[in-house]
Chains A and B, each alone.
Chain A
Amino acid sequence: MSAILRKILEASSSVLIEKEGEIRLIIASLLARGHVLLEGVPGVAKTLTAKVISRLTGLGFKRIQMTPDLLPSDIIGGYVYDQRTGSFILRRGPIFTNILLVDEINRASPRTQSALLEAMQERQVTIEGDTYRLEEPFMVIATQNPVESEGIFPLPDSQLDRFLVKIESSYPSTKGFIEIIKRIEYIEETFEDLKPVLSREEIILASKEASRVEIDDSIYGYIAKIVEATRSHKMLKIGASPRAGIALARLAKAWAYLDGRKYVIPDDVKAVAIPVLRHRMVFKPEYEIENPDPVAVIREIIGSIEVPRP
């Protein structure tokens, strides 16, 4: 395990219970310069997880609570009139940060979602013709509740594709749950005292090193086969895009880096395939009505594809 991940996991273990997998995926996404969609019912520590990571990484953190009346300018900012100087000055929106927590992203109107997702993709914003680059590292952690159906604007498939991973935040085990209840006061106090264990510079350096992790040609072939298999699967109307393949390779590199390796192995690809692909597939209507499990489909595909051999 890399020093970065070890430090984060050690420091977060006093606050987050049974969240190691999610933390690792979020840190890997951060190093891979991607964005995270956290899906889970209310009360499973989605927001706390994002806050803990931002604190421990020493990165700037801002939070937006999405509502239907939120405007794009509420996120990216705009020019406002300054009465003292008699001129318009730039007021930067909350997007000008390192880690942006977007709570309940599917509550915002499509117009606002679109503005946010464009900024995520381009890593820059344009305000009245002026372009501003967002500071690196920049990562959006968006949350959404899977069960709500009223007063929401589901993200279109094309915009879901912009998220590097979709993580399903689940309930803790009974043992973990009991531990949370017993230690809640301690957890709340400890959270307030959390200090950064990494610096922004360390994160940027780690991100560069992760991008230089070696991938054998046969692993690229393996990734291509997985992605292409989603396009010919009988249950799927639309499979994963080339962007998904790029995401898979990029995250596999970061995953290998966090494991302390400078090369990718097929296990890395398998480990990240589900979070990378689960939100990039569209089922055929005749299967959609049966509420199919994308994870089962991905597992089936991975189980049918030969891993690289000599």
Chain B
Amino acid sequence: MSMLRVFILALLLIPGAIVKGQNIDQGSNYNVSVYLGMHTINFTQILSQGFQGLSKGPGSVGINATRVLEAIKNITMGCDTLSCLAGNRSARSSIEQSVKELERSGYLDPALADEIMSSINQAYLSDEALKRLLSNPELAGLLSNISSQGSSANVLGILDSLFRGGRISLSEYIAALELLKRFSLRQGLESEALAIDRMQIEIIRQLVLSGTAEGFVRSLTNMLLSSNNQGQAFQQQEVREGGRNIPLTIPGYYGYVTGIYMGHEASLILIALLVSSAMVALVIAGPLRRFFRSPGLGVYRRSRDLGASEKMEGVIAIYWAAVSILSKRSPRYVSETHREYLERVRKILENSEPFEDLTYIYEKVRFAHEPEDRYYDRAARDYKELRGS
């Protein structure tokens, strides 16, 4: 079944070639010339001929398998798996380098790094696999539907949805992206290819983050945040602001790319590798839960009922609740510090004193770890004033 998915995804990319098929100037750019080193003349025509008959519906025998295979093989440059692209300047090497860097920096366990690389290398693209899938009637039916889709932006969106929905695995996603990237380069759409390159790296980053204690804790935090409106607002805001930190070059892709999350299948595989991280998470789950449930977010508890550490956690929660309110008027960017944000919102607030004071208290508690009892009450007062204004 997984072979089928890879091939479906590979062919998701093809209709665009038929629609947009144009000759490109091979000598105009170094990247393009590298990628098109094995360029076959009349690629798009071959592909179009291969797909003649698709409109006849599921189970159609109108597909000229040989022609389609010829074209696909041309896209993949004859590589069976992504690992054979190691010599390529910007394709697999960027991912591999990212993984190695993370491993070298101690963020990634060597065993997990191997697992990731193995996952990348097993993105099957072999002729045999493709040939088997091409004879599948289910695939033929799907192809006829897919072929009506025109733009590569749609293809990318479908791909992302499939991954997010857990319907394709990580390695399938990477393989499909790889094919889409090569297709984009073939069409001379370098900026699209660059965006896809970054998506691949981002996927690896997500994978790596989830494979460490930090990633696990972050997932837990997100989960807890999602359980209340404040957290949801933060998440939505981050997504709107490109909080996934993907420097995009194509505005049209924005909605898709910023929403990359781990697919269920990939997450399941990783959970097996996360036993040690889970231990860490369990230890801190209690404080985290208290942190997000307690003071400031909705229900104020009386100051005397709280311990020193709860009060500190409460101050931090109150600050972020205040940011959430202000974000409706002026969203906070992920790379923005608390002081930078204060400078910006100061201009839009009629009375900025409560938020100034809250920011000051937050800084003292968050970064100086000052266990001042009075900070909690001050923060709560500031928050009430801010809501009232």
Closest residue on chain B to residue A228 by CB atoms:
B105
Interface: B255 (CB within 8 A): no
Q: Is the CB of A305 within 8 A of B335?
A: yes
Q: Are A307 and B336 CB-contacts (below 8 A) given A216-B367, A216-B369, A262-B368?
A: yes
Interface residues on B, range: 20 to 34
Interface: A149 (CB within 8 A): no
Q: Which residues of B contact A219 (CB under 8 A)?
A: 367
State A4–B368 Cα separation when bound (angstroms): 21
Interface residues of B in 247-267 (CB under 8 A from A): 247
Q: Shortest distance in angstroms between A110's beta carbon and chain B's nearest beta carbon? A: 30
Interface: B42 (CB within 8 A): no
Closest residue on chain B to residue A256 by CB atoms:
B367
Q: Is the CB of B245 within 8 A of A306?
A: yes
Interface: B35 (CB within 8 A): no
Q: Are A307 and B320 CB-contacts (below 8 A) given A214-B368, A228-B105, A263-B368?
A: no
Q: Is the CB of B320 within 8 A of A310?
A: yes
Q: Are A232 and B334 CB-contacts (below 8 A) given A219-B367, A306-B245?
A: no
Q: Which residues of B contact A214 (CB under 8 A)?
A: 367-369
State A219–B367 Cα separation when bound (angstroms): 9
Q: Which residues of B contact A224 (CB under 8 A)?
A: 105
State A300–B249 Cα separation when bound (angstroms): 14
Q: Shortest distance in angstroms between B324's beta carbon and chain A's nearest beta carbon? A: 12
Interface: A87 (CB within 8 A): no
Interface residues of A in 250-295 (CB under 8 A from B): 261-267, 270, 286
Q: Are A266 and B337 CB-contacts (below 8 A) given A231-B101, A232-B101, A310-B316?
A: yes
Q: Shortest distance in angstroms between B299's beta carbon and chain A's nearest beta carbon? A: 18
B206-231 CB contact bits vs A (8 Å, 1 = yes)? 00000000100000010000000000
Q: Are A305 and B105 CB-contacts (below 8 A) given A216-B367, A232-B97, A267-B337?
A: no
Question: Number of residue pairs across A and B with beta carbons under 8 Å?
Answer: 59
Interface residues of B in 319-335 (CB under 8 A from A): 320, 334-335
Interface: A53 (CB within 8 A): no
Interface: B366 (CB within 8 A): yes
State A302–B335 Cα separation when bound (angstroms): 7
State A160–B368 Cα separation when bound (angstroms): 33
Closest residue on chain A to residue B364 by CB atoms:
A263
Interface residues of B in 66-90 (CB under 8 A from A): none
State A231–B291 Cα separation when bound (angstroms): 35
Q: Is the CB of B366 within 8 A of A216?
A: yes
State A47–B365 Cα separation when bound (angstroms): 42
Interface: B289 (CB within 8 A): no
Interface: B243 (CB within 8 A): yes
Interface: A304 (CB within 8 A): yes
Interface residues on A, range: 20 to 34
Q: Which residues of A contact B337 (CB under 8 A)?
A: 265-267, 270, 307
Interface: B317 (CB within 8 A): yes
Q: Is the CB of B317 within 8 A of A267?
A: no
Q: Which residues of A contact B214 (CB under 8 A)?
A: 221
Interface: B357 (CB within 8 A): no
Interface: B339 (CB within 8 A): yes
State A228–B102 Cα separation when bound (angstroms): 9
State A265–B101 Cα separation when bound (angstroms): 26
Q: Is the CB of A303 within 8 A of B335?
A: yes
Of A228, A270, A307, the residue contacting B334 (CB under 8 A) is A307
Q: Is the CB of A304 within 8 A of B367?
A: no
Q: Are A264 and B367 CB-contacts (below 8 A) given A302-B335, A303-B335, A305-B245?
A: yes
Of B94, B243, B338, the residue contacting A306 (CB under 8 A) is B243
State A224–B335 Cα separation when bound (angstroms): 15
Interface: B114 (CB within 8 A): no
Q: Shortest distance in angstroms between B46's beta carbon and chain A's nearest beta carbon? A: 33
Interface: B190 (CB within 8 A): no
Q: Which residues of A contact B291 (CB under 8 A)?
A: 310
Q: Which residues of A contact B340 (CB under 8 A)?
A: 267
Closest residue on chain A to residue B341 by CB atoms:
A307
Q: Is the CB of B98 within 8 A of A304?
A: no
A220-249 CB contact bits vs B (8 Å, 1 = yes)? 010010001001100000000000000000
- Residue from the set B214, B334, B337, B369 with the largest chain A CB neighbour count within 10 Å: B337
State A219–B98 Cα separation when bound (angstroms): 22
Q: Is the CB of A310 within 8 A of B317?
A: yes
Q: Which residues of A contact B336 (CB under 8 A)?
A: 307
Closest residue on chain B to residue A263 by CB atoms:
B368
Subset of 23 A-B contacts with CB under 8 Å: A214-B369, A216-B366, A216-B369, A219-B367, A221-B214, A224-B105, A232-B94, A232-B98, A232-B201, A262-B368, A265-B337, A266-B338, A267-B337, A300-B247, A302-B335, A304-B245, A305-B245, A305-B335, A307-B336, A307-B337, A310-B221, A310-B291, A310-B320
7 nearest CB pairs, A to B: A263-B368, A266-B337, A306-B334, A267-B337, A263-B367, A310-B316, A304-B245
What is B's interface to A at a CB cutoff of 8 Å? 30, 94, 97-98, 101-102, 105, 201, 214, 221, 243, 245, 247, 291, 316-317, 320, 334-340, 363, 366-369
Known: A214-B369, A232-B94. 11 other contacts (CB 8 A): A221-B214, A263-B367, A266-B337, A266-B338, A267-B337, A304-B247, A306-B243, A306-B245, A306-B335, A307-B336, A310-B317
